[in-house]
């Protein structure tokens, strides 16, 4: 493996990684040498995911904590760092709720903000303190094609992903001087549990295939290359950027 992309000896925390994009990214980082820490709120799902990775000979830890609870985040990160530094953070935890904007429940707006934005701030800040003290670190925030585009029924989600993109810029501006590199990865439409209802909808899939220059849904494994790049020495002078992995959706009208 090229030393530019070799993550051997690195320890990576991936939030929301018991399934979907988070699990795929954790696997990809582990396959490039990192020891990954899977995070989620359900112990049984975490252990099942960890078992799958361990059966493939990959180094895995688990850490069950609620990323929307700042006290729980601080305690969990402190505990994890007792066992060694967190060199890479992938802020992946997120959720979706779809309904017309005029009918959007206030409580779901708050839940979206806590899960998609507050968690990124809480975990990012807690992990960055150790990285700043060591003078090095990589943070990859998971944004979305919706950081750039809107679609009916998901305006609040679009709001959160725009916030992720700008918070990434802010983290980079504040922390680059301390040796941290903070970037965002923005997936387009991928086959995940979060999108299963859309995958199963023939009319939506037909629209998506026509709207996306690549002509198809993405597979979560196709996000790994960009995540490894942003986590590695290959991206040593890349910070504050958002990389869209979207089959060309944001380049075409």
Q: What is the dihedral of CA 212, 213, 215, 220, to 10 degrees?
A: -70
Q: DSSP strand E in 166-227: where?
A: 180-187
Annotated catalytic residue 189: no
Catalytic residue among 65, 122, 157, 189: 157
List C-alpha distances in Å: 115 to 8, 35, 159, 223.
Answer: 30, 25, 13, 21
- Residue 145 to residues 17, 58, 71, 150, 249, Cα–Cα distance (Å): 20, 30, 31, 9, 8
Q: Which residues contact 125 (CB under 8 A, 6 or more apart)?
A: none
Q: Which residues are catalytic?
A: 157
């Amino acid at each position: 493996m090229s030393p530019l992309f070799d993550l051997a000896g690195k320890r990576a925390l991936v939030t929301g990684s018991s399934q979907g994009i988070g699990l795929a990214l954790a696997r990809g980082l582990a396959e490039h040498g990192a020891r990954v820490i899977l995070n989620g709120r359900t112990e049984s799902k975490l252990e099942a995911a960890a078992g799958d990775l361990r059966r493939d000979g990959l180094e895995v830890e688990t850490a069950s904590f609620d990323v929307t609870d700042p006290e729980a985040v601080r305690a969990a990160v402190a505990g994890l760092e007792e066992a060694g530094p967190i060199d890479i953070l992938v802020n992946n935890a997120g959720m979706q709720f779809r309904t017309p904007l005029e009918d959007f429940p206030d409580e779901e707006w708050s839940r979206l903000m806590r899960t998609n934005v507050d968690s990124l701030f809480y975990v990012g800040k807690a992990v960055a303190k150790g990285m700043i003290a060591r003078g090095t670190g990589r943070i990859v925030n998971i944004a979305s094609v919706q950081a750039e585009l809107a679609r009916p029924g998901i305006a609040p989600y679009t709001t959160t992903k725009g916030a992720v993109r700008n918070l990434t810029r802010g983290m980079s501006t504040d922390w680059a001087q301390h040796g941290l590199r903070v970037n965002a990865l923005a997936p387009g439409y991928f086959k995940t549990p979060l999108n299963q209802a859309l995958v199963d909808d023939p009319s939506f899939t037909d629209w998506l295939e026509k709207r996306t220059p690549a002509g198809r849904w993405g597979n979560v494994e196709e996000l790994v290359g960009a995540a490894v790049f942003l986590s590695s020495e290959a991206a040593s002078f890349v910070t504050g950027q958002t990389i869209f992995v979207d089959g060309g959706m944001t380049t075409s009208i």
